[in-house]
Homo-oligomer: A and B are copies of this chain.
């Protein structure tokens, strides 16, 4: 189960680093965003999905910082869906060194279906569920 079908390289920027000389903790979240956006695009068959058009919001994250990332590292962010409930689903993501395979950071995210018009939670659409199951090659 610790397999990730989805993986994209992350382009590091100089100001991702901080005065400690490595990539700042808060920047990791934008890498996970990058992975999520690309994942959603993939399960939507390559159609670009703008986050503002998606009726899901991040409700919870927890992150283990395992090893620092340096500017000269070549890293990828890997993404998979771990579970789907009625009104939410869970992502597991990690940042790995593409050359050594070293795990740098692991993140679990709970995303919740959200109706921006009525400002309340709503069920995950059947279309999303199907697209995710199809991509992950198993039912949830």
Contacts and interface: CB of A to CB of B under 8 A. Distances in A.
A33 interface: yes
Interface stretch (A18-26, A87-95, A96-104, A129-137): A18-26
A72 B40 CA distance: 14
Contacts of A51: 14, 18-20, 71
A134 to B, nearest CB: 24
Interface of A: 10-11, 13-15, 17-22, 24-30, 33-34, 37, 48, 50-52, 57-65, 71-72
A63 B108 CA distance: 11
B61 A19 contact: no
Given A59-B64, A65-B57, A14 B33 contact: yes
Contact of A34 (B13, B27, B30): B13
Interface of A is mostly: mixed
Contacts of A63: 60-62
B15 A33 contact: yes
Contacts of A33: 13-15, 25-26
Contacts of A60: 62-65
Contacts of A20: 51-52
Contacts of A28: 26
